[in-house]
């Protein structure tokens, strides 16, 4: 990835898997949008992130309303949590978002409570 | 009962319960025909083969027929004597395989087993072919279609055996005694007419001159020795089946060993006298045979003539009973029947040996299973297939097939005799009683003679027949040997791999995470949800792969409306596939905590027709197959019986063949080799 030699880069792209290429592509988009890479976010850091929702969890009605989504930008995953909501129109699996908020580490997992979010049109 | 079941029931008969396996103990007079049919039947073709081979030397060759017959008789005597020792030492009926395994190790046992397996196939092929050749004396129209006729007979034998014909005494006794009476009666009557009445009996071929192959004419030096050796080894086909009694000792009445030994002696006496009688009559009547493939032909007054091939038995019966056609038909019929019976004994022996080998882990375990009729169906099918291939390939030519034959018998004779000498040596080390020591020493001498005799014959057989086809038999044995070794190695490796070791902690998984695959919200999914909840897993979640945005929204809404108390995770699938994201998700929760177990519940539709199977369950099947390769992932298939599944159930109820698929029906029985007398031939 670090190489600047165009020939070597082309060669690497040929050998790379679909998933690798995809994550690279998404990281590039995130970078161009001025977002931080999820893998480089530190605990308690305010960050703007850009990526897609990989897994959206719908909690049962009985518990506290709570919307949870795994958010991925190709470099890493952060769990977005909206408290007090069971669903948010427009937030669905596969949706591309720009989110910002304070990322915290819980049990080694990144979490982002009640992020600001911006739906990005397909 | 549908048409297929009806046909099967007609062909194979009703199912038999394991309890019907019943063991009937045989008195000597029944045991002799039961076990001797193979050994006696070889009298029908062994003399032919001697004469055929000698014909290569032209008229000069036939002079040696009685010397060769004598040599064969001597070998037969040695073998019978040796096996009488085996019968006393190993009354369990394991036969040569057991003797070799116990005394010489599993490799030797395997050599014997592979030799025997190959030989069983050849026994069927040779006996059936010979029966067909003999039948030509009565039904000349068989000429030219021998291969197909023989194949058809093998099929008939196969279906008889799938029915599970036990060697019921009378079924075997009548033709075997008939054959003995026919051949011995023919010999006596023939000798009486020739020597007593002074009749000048001439075989149909007596008037012809045989012109041999140029390489053996004149019959001198090395060529003579080679030809004699070939004739001798072909004649040794008469010995096949002698070992059958040693495998059948448990089926004898008490005192088993003693009765078996006596029967063996009787068998030897009858076989030798029949064999000698035929050769003698052939000499007296001027009977001649030719081997067209080997290069000998008939000539009359210097002109080559074409004569339809007829066996020695056929010619002799025609000559001796020229005024008594009933005798002719009797002898030919009995010869034919006993040859088919001899083939049938291989159908008894091969599957039993196969099942013993399967039990010891040298053959696939399926061969150890008895079918509906208590016969080892898989072994029977294998044997029949191989034999049919052989008779078709060689067009039921006994002369061609016999070149492959005998090698296996003598390999097993020699190895087992060697094993017996080791057996006595081992026992002599510990035995103190001088009387029993003397007996053992005598037995060892007999077995040593047996070893020498059979060893020499084996070398002669190999040397004289190798290029004529024995190499194929040797190759087949080597292939079978390697195959069985490979199977055994595999079974052992797997057994080692799955064995429970002392260090294997009986540690329970720390947590079980239940994952329910959701594709729709419907009854099968609900059943999976209910079942998963009932198992009380540590955590439980439903997973839906979102392939289509609108559909996902509908399913999520439906899920929400059902108020299921289980979180539903919707996985994005940017490439519209289900398996990939699902597997990734499972992999993800796996890697979180390695001591966790993930249990994936997949609702499955149970359908009644194969075409419905194509329409349903495809994603689930692929997922199941892939998930099985993941560590720490269990897949639970939650069946939902669709209305159409009752068709499949009805079919299974009607269909006995599919009955084993019914859980708990107990249709698959394992052979109880402890109780079952191991019978070969």
Give pLDDT tens digits for B4-31.
Answer: 666 655 555 555 444 444 455 677 777 7
Predicted confidence band of residue B680 (pLDDT cuts 50, 70, 90): very low
- As a whole number, mean pLDDT of residues A1-28 equals 74
- As a whole number, mean pLDDT of residues B450-473 equals 84
- Cβ contact B572–A59 (<8 Å): no
Same domain, B526 and B482: no
Encoding tokens for residue B474?
Answer: 């040797």
Give pLDDT tens digits for B29-44.
Answer: 777 877 777 788 888 8
- Cβ contact A56–B570 (<8 Å): yes
Beta partners for B26? B252
Give the structural domain span for B424: 25-491
Report if residue A1 sits inside a domain: no
The Cα–Cα gap between B161 and B373 comes to 9
Give the nearest partner residue to A59 out of B546, B567, B574, using CB atoms: B567
Residue carrying structure tokens 């695959």? B517
Phi, psi at residue B178, to the nearest 5°? Answer: -60, -45
Q: How far is CA B346 from the centre of its chain?
A: 7
- Cβ contact A92–B566 (<8 Å): no
- Cβ contact A93–B570 (<8 Å): yes
Instruction: Please report residues of A whose CB lies closer than 8 A to that of B541.
Output: 57
Report if residue B456 sits inside a domain: yes
Higher pLDDT, B4 or B121: B121
Report if residue B102 sits inside a domain: yes
- B463: domain CATH number is 1.20.1740.10
Report if residue B507 sits inside a domain: no
The Cα–Cα gap between A18 and A14 comes to 10
Query: Which residue among B491, B523, B538 closes a domain?
Result: B491
Range with the lowest mean pLDDT among B102-106, B202-206, B620-624, B628-632?
Answer: B202-206
Same domain, B390 and B519: no
Q: Is the pLDDT of residue B482 over 90?
A: yes
Which of B570, B577, B586, B588 to substitute to test the interface with A, most A CBs within 10 Å? B570
Question: CA dist B610 to A10, B530, B603, B613, B672, Å?
Answer: 48, 28, 18, 5, 36
What does R_g of chain B's alpha carbons equal in angstroms? 33
Same domain, B534 and B461: no
Phi, psi at residue A14, to the nearest 5°? Answer: -65, -40
- As a whole number, mean pLDDT of residues B474-501 equals 90
Same domain, B138 and B249: yes
Instruction: Please report residues of A whose CB lies closer than 8 A to that of B570.
Output: 55-58, 92-93
Domain count for chain A, please give it: 1
Domain count for chain B, please give it: 2
Question: CA dist B287 to A46, B280, B318, B333, Å?
Answer: 112, 10, 11, 21
**For the stretch B516-541, what's the b/e string if a residue is b when 16 or more beta carbons lie within 10 angstroms of its beta carbon?**
bbbbebeebbeebbeebeeeebeebb
- As a whole number, mean pLDDT of residues B336-344 equals 82
Q: How many helices (H) and strands (E) are present in chain B, helices listed first?
A: 24, 10
- A113: domain CATH number is 2.40.50.140
Residues of A with CB under 8 A from a CB of B: 22, 52-62, 92-95
Higher pLDDT, A19 or B317: B317
Phi, psi at residue B143, to the nearest 5°? Answer: -50, 125
Report if residue A39 sits inside a domain: yes
Q: What is the pLDDT of residue B666?
A: 37
Terminus-to-terminus CA distance in chain A, angstroms?
A: 28
| Residue A119, burial from CB neighbour count under 10 angstroms (0-12, 13-18, 19+) | middle
Q: What is the pLDDT of residue B220?
A: 66
Is the distance from CB of A96 to CB of A26 less than 8 angstroms?
no
Long-range contacts of B27-31 (CB under 8 A, 24+ apart): B27/B253, B28/B252, B28/B253, B28/B259, B28/B262, B28/B263, B28/B266, B29/B173, B30/B169, B30/B170, B30/B172, B30/B173, B31/B245, B31/B248, B31/B251, B31/B252, B31/B259, B31/B260, B31/B263
- Complex ipTM > 0.90: no
| Residue A62, burial from CB neighbour count under 10 angstroms (0-12, 13-18, 19+) | exposed
Range with the lowest mean pLDDT among B197-201, B386-390, B408-412, B627-631?
Answer: B197-201
Q: How far is CA B507 from the centre of its chain?
A: 46
Q: What is the pLDDT of residue B593?
A: 67
Q: What is the pLDDT of residue B378?
A: 75
Q: Is the pLDDT of residue B484 over 60?
A: yes
Do you find a cis peptide bond into B464, omega within 30 degrees of 0?
A: no
In B559-598, the residues whose Cβ lies within 8 Å of chain A are 559-560, 563-574, 585
Instruction: Please report residues of A whose CB lies closer than 8 A to that of B559.
Output: 58
Give pLDDT tens digits for B308-321.
Answer: 677 888 888 888 88
Give the nearest partner residue to B552 out of A57, A60, A93, using CB atoms: A93
Report if residue A52 sits inside a domain: yes
Same domain, B185 and B312: yes
B272: left (phi > 0), else alpha (psi -120 to 50), else beta? alpha
- B638: domain CATH number is 3.40.50.620
Same domain, B56 and B99: yes
Encoding tokens for residue A67?
Answer: 């919307």
Q: Is the pLDDT of residue B162 over 80?
A: no
Q: Is the pLDDT of residue B681 over 50?
A: no
The Cα–Cα gap between B83 and B613 comes to 58
Give pLDDT tens digits for A41-87.
Answer: 888 999 999 988 999 998 888 878 889 999 988 888 999 999 988 88
Terminus-to-terminus CA distance in chain B, angstroms?
A: 36
Instruction: Please report residues of B whose CB lies closer than 8 A to that of A62.
Output: 563, 565
The Cα–Cα gap between B120 and B125 comes to 9
CB contacts < 8 A, A to B, total: 53
For A89, name the nearest residue in chain B, comparing CA atoms only: B553
The Cα–Cα gap between B476 and B328 comes to 39
Q: How far is A5 from chain B (nearest CA, A)?
A: 31
Cα angle B174-B179-B183, degrees, rounded to a multiple of 5: 150
Q: How far is B107 from chain A (nearest CA, A)?
A: 50
Report if residue A57 sits inside a domain: yes
Report if residue B223 sits inside a domain: yes
Question: CA dist B357 to B109, B141, B481, Å?
Answer: 10, 42, 12
Give the nearest partner residue to B565 out of A22, A52, A62, using CB atoms: A62
Predicted confidence band of residue A104 (pLDDT cuts 50, 70, 90): very high
Report if residue B662 sits inside a domain: no
Q: Is the pLDDT of residue B532 over 70?
A: yes
A78: left (phi > 0), else alpha (psi -120 to 50), else beta? beta
Percent of chain B clearing pLDDT 70 (strictly above): 86
Encoding tokens for residue B450?
Answer: 């047996």
Higher pLDDT, A121 or B270: B270
Which residues fall within 8 angstroms of residue B16, CB to CB, at 6 or more apart? B164, B372, B373, B374
Encoding tokens for residue B381?
Answer: 């099918």
Give the nearest partner residue to A94 out of B563, B567, B574, using CB atoms: B574
Same domain, B475 and B522: no
- Cβ contact B565–A60 (<8 Å): yes
Is the distance from CB of B37 to CB of B345 less than 8 angstroms?
yes
Give pLDDT tens digits for B369-411.
Answer: 665 544 567 778 888 888 898 888 887 787 778 778 878 888 8
Phi, psi at residue B646, to the nearest 5°? Answer: -65, -25
Same domain, B423 and B522: no
Q: What is the pLDDT of residue B664?
A: 37
- DSSP structural state of residue A114: S
Encoding tokens for residue B257?
Answer: 């060993």
**H-run or E-run covering B486:** helix B470-498
Give the structural domain span for A11: 6-119
* CA-CA-CA-CA dihedral for B237, B239, B241, B243, to nearest 10: -140
Is the CB of B550 inside 8 Å of chain A's CB atoms? no
Mean pLDDT score of chain B:
80
Q: Is the pLDDT of residue B499 over 50?
A: yes
């Amino acid at each position: 990835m670090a190489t600047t030699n165009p020939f070597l880069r082309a060669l690497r792209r040929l050998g790379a898997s679909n998933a690798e290429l995809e994550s690279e592509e998404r990281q590039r988009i995130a970078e161009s949008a001025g977002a931080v890479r999820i893998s480089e976010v530190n605990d308690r850091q305010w960050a703007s992130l850009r990526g897609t929702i990989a897994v959206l969890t719908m909690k049962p009605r009985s518990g506290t309303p709570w919307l949870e989504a795994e958010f991925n930008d190709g470099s890493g995953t952060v769990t977005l949590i909206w408290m007090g909501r069971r669903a948010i129109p427009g937030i669905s699996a596969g949706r591309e978002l720009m989110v910002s908020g304070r990322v915290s580490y819980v049990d080694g997992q990144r979490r982002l409570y009640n992020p600001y979010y911006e739906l990005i049109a397909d | 009962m549908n048409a297929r079941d009806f046909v099967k029931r007609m062909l194979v008969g009703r199912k038999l319960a394991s309890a019907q396996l019943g063991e009937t103990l045989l008195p000597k007079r029944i045991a002799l025909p039961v076990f001797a049919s193979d050994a006696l039947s070889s009298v029908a073709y062994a003399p032919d083969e001697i004469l055929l081979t000698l014909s290569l030397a032209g008229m000069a060759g036939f002079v040696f027929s009685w010397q060769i017959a004598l040599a064969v008789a001597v070998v037969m005597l040695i073998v019978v004597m040796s096996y009488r020792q085996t019968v006393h030492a190993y009354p369990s009926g394991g036969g040569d395989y057991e003797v070799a395994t116990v005394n010489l190790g599993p490799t030797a046992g395997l050599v014997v087993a592979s030799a025997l397996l190959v030989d069983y196939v050849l026994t069927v092929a040779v006996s059936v072919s010979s029966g067909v050749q003999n039948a030509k004396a009565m039904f000349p129209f068989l000429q030219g279609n021998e291969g197909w006729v023989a194949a058809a007979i093998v099929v008939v034998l196969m279906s008889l055996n799938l029915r599970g014909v036990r060697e019921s005494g009378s079924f075997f006794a009548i033709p075997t005694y008939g054959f003995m009476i026919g051949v011995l009666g023919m010999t006596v009557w023939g000798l009486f007419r020739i020597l007593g009445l002074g009749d000048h009996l001439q075989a149909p071929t007596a008037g012809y001159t045989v012109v041999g192959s140029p390489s053996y004419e004149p019959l001198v030096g090395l060529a003579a020795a080679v030809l004699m050796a070939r004739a001798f080894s072909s004649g040794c086909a008469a010995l096949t089946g002698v070992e059958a009694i040693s495998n059948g000792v448990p089926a004898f009445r008490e005192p088993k060993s003693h009765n078996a030994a006596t029967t063996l002696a009787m068998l030897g006496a009858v076989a030798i006298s029949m064999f000698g009688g035929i050769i003698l009559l052939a000499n007296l009547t001027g009977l001649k045979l030719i081997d067209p493939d080997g290069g000998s032909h008939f000539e009359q007054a210097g002109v080559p003539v074409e004569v339809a091939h007829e066996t020695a038995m056929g010619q002799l019966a025609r000559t001796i009973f020229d005024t008594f056609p009933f005798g002719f038909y009797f002898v030919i019929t009995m010869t034919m029947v006993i040859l088919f019976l001899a083939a049938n004994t291989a159908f008894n022996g091969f599957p039993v040996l196969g099942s013993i080998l399967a039990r010891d882990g040298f053959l696939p375990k399926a061969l150890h299973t008895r079918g509906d009729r208590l016969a080892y169906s898989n072994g029977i099918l294998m044997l029949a297939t191989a034999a049919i291939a052989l008779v078709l390939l060689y067009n039921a030519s006994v002369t061609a097939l016999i070149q492959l034959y005998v090698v296996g018998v003598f390999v097993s004779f020699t190895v087992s005799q060697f094993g017996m000498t080791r057996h006595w040596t081992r026992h002599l080390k510990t035995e103190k009683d001088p009387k029993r020591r003397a007996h053992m020493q005598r037995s060892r001498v007999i077995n040593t003679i047996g070893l020498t005799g059979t060893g020499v014959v084996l070398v002669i057989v190999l040397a004289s027949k190798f290029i004529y086809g024995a190499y194929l038999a040797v190759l087949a044995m080597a292939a079978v040997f390697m195959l069985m070794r490979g199977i055994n190695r595999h079974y052992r490796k797997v057994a080692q791999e799955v064995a429970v070791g002392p260090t294997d902690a009986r540690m329970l998984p720390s947590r079980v995470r239940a994952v329910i695959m959701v594709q729709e919200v419907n009854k099968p999914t609900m059943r999976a949800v209910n079942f998963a909840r009932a198992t009380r897993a540590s955590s439980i979640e439903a997973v839906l792969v979102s392939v289509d945005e609108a559909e996902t929204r509908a399913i999520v809404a439906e899920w929400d409306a059902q108020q299921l108390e289980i979180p539903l995770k919707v996985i994005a699938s940017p490439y519209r596939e289900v398996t990939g994201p699902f597997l990734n998700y499972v992999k993800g929760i796996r890697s979180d905590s390695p001591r966790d177990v993930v249990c994936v519940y997949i609702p499955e539709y149970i359908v009644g027709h194969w075409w419905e199977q194509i329409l349903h369950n495809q994603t689930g099947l692929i997922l199941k197959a892939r998930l099985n390769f993941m560590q720490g992932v269990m897949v639970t298939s939650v069946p939902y019986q669709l209305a159409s599944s009752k068709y499949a159930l009805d079919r299974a109820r009607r269909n006995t063949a599919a009955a084993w698929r019914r859980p708990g029906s107990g249709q698959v029985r394992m052979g109880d080799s402890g109780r079952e007398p191991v019978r070969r031939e």
